Structure formats: structure tokens, C-alpha cells
A and B are shown apart, each in its own frame.
Chain A
């Protein structure tokens, strides 16, 4: 897969992960914390341009997307997912993608 496809795949995984984490029962809120990490990673990756993200009209878009921040957010999401029961496979898929974000 080329990079855009990898990022697209990562975004799909992250969106699926956050949707699942937010919908599942969560007595100790660990899934909510993982979902927050996924949301951040999702937005950072989308910011890199993998998906055209329409914005409100005057949001500051002058700063360039930060690849390092996107990778850090993705790593954080992987770390959180690794702690969630049932999310290990998803975490492994995302972990494989982290290094591809360049």
C-alpha cells in the first residue's frame, strides 16, 4: 500500500476503534480514555491530508501539519488500546502503521 492508503487504513481503524470504545460498556472509564487518544490521533492523521477535511471558514490553517505530532498521537492511541480488553488486534494493526506516517 502507498502512504495515502496506509493513512486511510489507519483512519478507518481509528474511527472504528473510537466508535467501538465509546459504545461499549465501560465501568472503569479506561475505554473512554483510549477513545480520547484515538480521537486525537484520528484528527492528527486527517490533518496530514489523507482525507480532505473541510473546516469552518476562518479556522487557522496556516501552520503546517505536524508529522511528529501525528505519530506521537498514534503511538499514544496504540498504547491506550493495548490496555483495553478486546482491542489488542486493533492496536497491533495501528502499531504497524505508526512507522509509515512520514
Chain B
């Protein structure tokens, strides 16, 4: 199974609700003090809140200092059963921290958006945890009460709902044996990397399959995002992103085409199997007969997020594609061209079914490389558009929150939580 940041934040909200609505600690437990549970909780929260550079909606430094003062007990002792609700919250917050610490391709804008949402949910869970502990019998947490009251004063009581799930899509934990679409994407990208990163193993089929699969992923993401716009699940401005993704799909389709006089034979069974599995998952989960699935099932945030993540993974495969063709066009390893074509071009005669190495001076593979390069840039542009739209919406919301002090607009702007510093192209899409 895969775990997404949105999934984990939903679990955390569920656990928070259990703390708010559930029973308090049933008197003195006779076991270890509740301070142990709070120590684990504070350590997990501290790590998660500082995992991404961003700004919490409260005084982040004060909260962090307070959590540091609570995180004093590092002995690996089991938490008593009576404190299990706190342990559950600790585990979830810790898992969120783990996920945020994994390498994810994201822009600074997107990280700030994700961090803002994570902070809100973690702080709300801390507030509920503190309230739950303070509401327990007085003997339970005598030494912590002062700190917990201060913590409750700094944190919010209710998390905002997941207002922009699209900002969370890059953080996804996927096991290679995941039976669903996430797993198929992961296995496919691995096999594509294996096939394309070795000049000794790359084949025409590997290059064509990868390009066509990237086109399919882009098409699916475009269809899902369009469906989400039609069902008002996401901001209508994301229609531009859907159009950009569809355009990227068209470009990758073109990059799949090879002229008939250029060849690079050989078999690629592992990538072929992974490609077939990816297509089977897309057909089974996202298509209805010969068409994309209806908007109601295709345009839900979980599907859109999964496909944006898949597009991001596809862009990485696209980078391998670009570099493989660069090697074939300009490196030591060459594609082959039909001798007939080369002879026709250079000397005006022909020879059927003979192949010669592509010319180093004027390689036929150069056009394929250019097409691949342009195609992959188009994916980067589409995904960056997603980030910018999210940021633009956030900026708009932030402005709406500011009192209409027209004399000092720049100060009001600086006081908002998320001040985008301008568009940034993702480094990983630069090839």
C-alpha cells in the first residue's frame, strides 16, 4: 500500500477527534508518568514541524522551544496503555515527519504550501493532546501542566480542512510491491531508469515505450485535472495546467516516433512487462471502455494527486530519455541508420537492408534528442504551473485576510504567512 501526506493528515485528524471526544486517562495508572508519552510526542512533532522550511501560523520558534523542553526523556521505554492515544498521535506525526524527510521533487512554493498545511494539522493535534492530558485526573500530569497550558495557548483548536490537496502530491511513500497504480508507476520508472541509463542496454523499444508511457501518464493527468475542474473539486484556473499537461502528452507522442531509417534493436523484456502493467492499471482504474472514466470518479483529489505524482515520476524517466538520446546522438555510442538512407543522402545510390553507424558529424538521432528534450521541458512547465496556481490562490486568500490598510500594502504583504518569492523552475526538469 502507498501512503500519501493527505492520507496521514486524515489519520491524524481522526486521532485528534478521538482525543477530543474520547475518555480521559482513567486515574493514576501506577505505571510510568505521562511525561514519557509527551516526550515521544514532542520529539516527533518537533522533527515534523522542522522537516520542511516553511512558516507555521503561530510563533514557530516558541512552539519549538516548548516542544524541546517537553522532549527530555529519550529512554526507549514502552508507553503505558492508558496513554496509548498520545502514542498513536506520536506515531502518526512521526510518520509524517519521515515522509517529509524523504527526497521529493518539489518547488519552494509547493514545500511552503505543504508545510503550512502540515503545521496546522500537527498543531491542532498537539492542542487536543494537551487538552486531553490536562483534563485527566490531576495526579497524572502535575509536572507538565504549566507547559501544556502554554502549548494550548499557542496552538489552534481546529485544523483547517485539507484546503489544497494538490500541494501535497509530491510526498508519497510507495512500496515497489504495491498492487495499485502507485506501485505500477514505481516499477515502471525503475525499469525505465535501468534500461535507459546504460548505453549498453538501451534499445529503440525502451526509448519508444518510455516516451509513449510518459505521454499516457500526461494524458491521464490532464483528463483527471479537467474532470476535477468540471466537478468544482479544484480551482478553475487549473484548467490551464490540464491544457499544459495535454500539450506535454502530445509532445511525448511525437517523441515516440522514430524515422524508419534510424534503428536501435534489442529486447527490453523487464521494461516491457512494467510498461504493460502500468497500462493495465491505467485502463482498469481510470478508463471506462474506450474513454476516460466519468468525471465523478476521475476528478477526485486522491486520483488527481496520484496522477500529478505519476507525472512527476514520468518527468524523471523523461530526463533519462533525454540523456540516453543525447548519448546516442553525440556520445560514444551510436544509433544505426539504414545504409540506403545514408547512401541516398550522400552519394545518390542505395543498398537495401544494410545498416551503418549514425554519422557523428550530422547524427540522425539529434532530431530525436531535440524532440525528447522539448517534450520533457513541457512536463516541467505544466507541473510548475500547478505550483504557481496554488501559490497565486494562497496569495489571494492571504490578501483577503489583511485589513484594508492601503497606505502600507508592502508591509501587509510581508506579514502574510506565505510570500512566494517568484516563479521557480524545478531543477530536476532542467536537462
Contacts and interface: CB of A to CB of B under 8 A. Distances in A.
Interface of A: 15, 18-19, 22-23, 26, 28-30, 32-33, 35-36, 39-40, 43, 46-47, 51-61, 63, 83
Interface string B235-262: 0000000000000010001101100100
Given A56-B266, A57-B333, A61-B266, 12 more contacts: A23-B257, A29-B220, A32-B212, A33-B283, A35-B256, A39-B209, A39-B256, A47-B265, A53-B265, A57-B200, A58-B200, A83-B290
A18 B215 CA distance: 14
Contact of B201 (A28, A35, A47, A56): A56
A15 B212 contact: no
A46 B292 CA distance: 32
A22 B256 contact: yes
Contacts of A47: 265, 267
B290 A55 contact: no
Interface residues of B, number: 39
Contact of B203 (A18, A19, A56): A56
B182 interface: no
A15 B260 CA distance: 8
Nearest to A63: B267
Given A29-B292, A32-B212, A39-B208, A59 B201 contact: yes
A43 B204 contact: yes
A57 B334 CA distance: 9
B265 A29 contact: no
Interface in B89-132: none
Contact of A55 (B219, B249, B265): B265
Given A51-B353, A60-B267, A22 B253 contact: yes
